[in-house]
Amino acid sequence: MFFILTAVILFLRLSLAFFPSSERRFLHNGKVGKVATADFWFPNEQVPSVRVGREFSFGDDSADAVKQAADDVLDPTYVHLSPAITILTRDSNSHAYIVNVTISDEEYSLILDTGSAFPWVYGDSCSLRACEGRKLYPTGGKQTVNGSTFRLDYPYGITSGAIFQDSFIINNLNTSETFAFGVATSVPQMFENYPVSGILGLPANSPGTVEPALSVLYRSKSIRSQKFTLYLDHIESENTTLNANSGLFAIGEPITELYKGDIYYSELVVNPNNYWLIAIDRIFCNSTLVTFQNPENFTGAQSRSKRSGIIDSGSTFLVLPKVDALDIHSYLPGSITDGNYFAVFCNSTVDLTFELGNKNWTIPASSYLGEPYQEGSKYYGYCVSNIEGQAIHSSWILGDVFIKNFYTVFDMDNQQVGFALKNSNVNLVQNSNISTNTLEATPLSSTTISSSHSTSKSEGTFPLKLHNYLYYLVIYFSLWL
């Protein structure tokens, strides 16, 4: 008699917040340059009724912005591209932020996605069009993690494959520890339009099977804290290569040169999907408070003004439940919709303000105004709205339209997200001694972190009505012969 123990089979299934840009966002019109596909739903255009609500004064909240404008006429602040900091680039359609990572001595371009649970790359057995011409991970001779497989449910399809383990270098931070990541054999068709080899998922917590990259670096003492920051905007540089950047991704403490004033934090709302989810206390269109048709359960009470939002670098726009999107556009005069997508007058001057904790954060009209309709279209004078209504039934997704306006801190240690005004008067400089040695992730040796940063906590928790789910199925099978 002998004992044979088969490998542990672990199946991980996740639903993810990932809404990249779509070319089907124009309202139906045969004269429009980009014609929507046949499977698109085109009811008659609806004109949301204009809403009039309570008006509020924001007091001196604009003072920081005034100071920012004054500072921008001064000499620029120089930021050195040192270890733990890397530049971001964008695809040709400016739909996604891309970062390069090294896996087993090979470099892969991945979409930086704070709405995905873990990293995954295309495997060499993937024969789909999305994998054609891309760097593929060679699985020959490599071992899976206890036979683990995964399935990720994206809004437009499914990614599935096995979980492998290998060396992984992010932002020039090396460690002797190996990282677990997904190797996909099947990916959605939507990835055909992206010049990448997968996703760099950066969750707020561990999904269980795959330890977050920051946690691996922290456990191996390669970094001092489990934090990273995003500056999603072009930074000028005299270096031609660096000047092609679309922003910075830094692991470690906030870089004081990249923001003005204080950082204000919002506590994460506990959720089963490990999202960077925060409470939105109120939303304003200019100074008018937005009220919603559908109430949400907020700290045990029904509210028509409070919502929650996922801070998601992998999504391009603001993605809302359909009814909420209709409500928001009802405060934008003249808006029209076909049910999912909206058009707004291109000369709109209505700003959107989000109250997070005790701080207001404003995104200008220019952020939610997308591509204009062509001359000759019956919608000429309108722009595509970057606020979308989708078949989601819970939290809003605050994508690039929101994040790009601020300097954003993702703090795993303290389970919070922080925002500050960006310093737009910055110049990027190459550091000559970058290497892939194990280094502390203090982004700049010359940077000091202010201890006077304000902390603005969101009150209470937001009970979720997430239709998403996460479950693990572990099967141990023993055979005695």
**Residue positions annotated with a catalytic role:** 113, 312
87-105 core/surface letters (b: 16 or more CB in 10 A; e: else): bbebbeeebbbbbbbebee
Token output for 437: 């040695």
Our separate counts of H helices and E strands in the chain read 5, 35
The alpha-carbon radius of gyration of the chain (Å, integer) is 23
| Strands, E assignment, 136-289 | 144-154, 157-166, 168-170, 179-186, 198-201, 227-231, 247-251, 259-267, 277-280, 282-285, 288-289
From 421, 448, 314, 438, select the one nearest 362 (Cα to Cα): 421
Cα–Cα distance for residue pair 385/335, rounded to 1 Å? 9
Burial class (CB in 10 A: 0-12, 13-18, 19+), 457: middle
Burial class (CB in 10 A: 0-12, 13-18, 19+), 57: exposed
How many Cα neighbours within 13 Å face the side chain of 442? 8
Token output for 141: 């001779």
Give one word for 413, left, alpha or beta, with left for phi > 0 and alpha for psi -120 to 50: alpha
Cα–Cα distance for residue pair 223/194, rounded to 1 Å? 31
8 Å CB contact between 258 and 407: yes
Cα–Cα distance for residue pair 262/416, rounded to 1 Å? 15
Cα–Cα distance for residue pair 426/73, rounded to 1 Å? 11
Find the DSSP H helices in 195-302: 213-219
Q: Order across the sheet with 288-289: list the strands.
A: 288-289, 282-285, 352-356, 359-363
Cα–Cα distance for residue pair 94/86, rounded to 1 Å? 18
Which amino acid, one-letter code, is at 448? T
Collapsing DSSP states into helix, strand and coil, what is residue 15? Answer: strand
Cα–Cα distance for residue pair 393/261, rounded to 1 Å? 36
